[in-house]
Amino acid sequence: MITSGIKGHIKLDRVSFKYESRQQWVFRHMNIEIKPGQKIAFVGPSGCGKSTIVQLLQRFYFPQEGTITLDGVDLKDYDIHYLRSQFGVVSQEPVLFNASFRENIKYNRI
């Protein structure tokens, strides 16, 4: 299991995904390459797969087809806790506790 040294080269190669509870594919044969230090944005209407891509990168789901690699290594070869600790995600509808932003962020880091 890989637990250190991520540079950030992300590649989705012919990735297809659909939720078990649905018949329709979220996306089919998608290719994305994100180089270290590159800034990107996922933009589109609700339901087009923006959040699903992030959940696939964090291994909350697995693609039915294709591969996802990080620095040339399949995501399955990374320690899940380490992998997820490398992501910072702000959802469309964040839930905040009755505290400062700093305290909310610190709460999540526990």
Q: Give the CATH number for residue 44.
A: 3.40.50.300
Q: What is the phi/psi pair of residue 17, to 5°?
A: -150, 140
Spatial separation of the C-alpha atoms in residues 109 and 79, rounded to whole Å: 17
Domain that holds residue 44: 10-108
pLDDT at residue 48, as a whole number: 85
Q: Flag whether 25 is in a domain.
A: yes
Measured CA to CA in angstroms, residue 49 lies from 39, 52, 64 at distances of 18, 5, 14
Q: What pLDDT tens digit does each residue of the chain (110 aa) get?
A: 777 788 999 999 999 999 999 899 999 999 999 999 998 888 888 888 888 999 999 999 999 999 999 999 999 999 999 999 888 777 667 666 787 878 877 776 65
Burial of 4 (0-12, 13-18, 19+ CB in 10 A): exposed
pLDDT at residue 87, as a whole number: 85
pLDDT at residue 19, as a whole number: 92
The number of folded domains in the chain is 1
Question: What predicted TM-score, i.e. pTM, was given to this entire model?
Answer: 0.79
pLDDT at residue 11, as a whole number: 97
